[in-house]
Amino acid sequence: MRAVRYHEYGGVENLVVEHVPDPHPGPGEIRVRVTAASVNPIDWKVRSGAARELLPLDLPAIPGRDAVGVVDEIGAGVRGVSVGDRVFGLGGVTGATAELAVLSAWAHAPTTWTDEEAAGAGLASVTALGGLNALGGLRGRTLLIEGAAGGVGSAAVEIAVARGATVIGTAGERNHAFLTSLGAVATTYGTGLAERLAALARGGVDAALDTAASGSLADLVAIVGDPARVSTVADHANAERLGVRVANAENDSSLLAEAGELGREGRYTPRVERSYSLDRIAEAHAYAELGHTRGKIVIRL
């Protein structure tokens, strides 16, 4: 099969497209013929070596954690899916940016999603759902989402709105119309946030989800008044110090199924900012490293 690989840690110039042996699923896994995969921040952090101590790799490695495709091989013990089904899901930290990928968590992809949208749903949706679930019921509550325009943030906005929350999202001004289209009230991040929120949410902010790791956790705790009503999917170090709830992305098929059902209902559509062909993987990673994405970056196969 064709796949993207890097043979040593470093910059985007290390990414090459080459022929590699086909992977096969183990017990509880499936293999898909990939139609699209996404690029996530963890991909370039792992590739660059920035996450080497936390997530060491056996090189060479194939970047990518989530993808959409058609099932073509099923491991032992797997139920509820058949060869030929179109699914989206998650594999390991690496392995998805290839013609064939092994998934350990998956759900049937809604027909309402394009392949590019479905490719962007896996990691974003389980991360967003983890962060939201840590905050308890949302119906009738006002929720602040810090970093609301990114892949995880935009997913969290739509899912929280679907759960009945009033959502205020922070982003740069160029993304305010985008947040409004998702159902959020948009405001800017940074200095003066508490004052802006006082004008936007007369009854106060009930809970906050941080997806940005911008150093604002202490401010979020002060705004909602209780660290137990703040969760983060990104700022683990400050969360421990402040007593904020931490949500880690998990390969959980039930969360993927929930996201897929929202997609079928028309209440969650993964937002894709840019898509690239496999041969332009270096451009995709370089753009992802800028950190200013609106929604997801995906690779078409």
Per-residue pLDDT of the chain (301 residues; tens, 9 = 90+): 999 999 999 999 999 999 999 999 999 999 999 999 999 988 989 998 887 877 788 899 999 999 999 999 999 999 999 999 999 999 999 999 999 999 999 999 999 999 999 999 999 999 999 999 999 999 999 999 999 999 999 999 999 999 999 999 999 899 999 999 999 999 998 888 889 988 888 889 999 999 988 888 899 999 999 999 999 998 888 888 999 989 988 899 999 999 999 999 999 999 999 999 999 999 999 999 887 778 899 999 9
In angstroms, the CA 164 to CA 167 distance is 9
Tell me which H or E stretch contains 130.
helix 122-133
3-state secondary structure of 89: strand
Tell me which H or E stretch contains 88.
strand 86-90
In angstroms, the CA 152 to CA 147 distance is 9
In Å, how far are 104, 180, 236, 260, 296 from 269, measured between CA atoms?
23, 15, 28, 9, 11
In Å, how far are 9, 135, 190, 218, 269 from 210, measured between CA atoms?
29, 12, 13, 11, 21
CA 293 to chain centre: 12
274 close to 287: Cβ distance less than 8 angstroms: yes
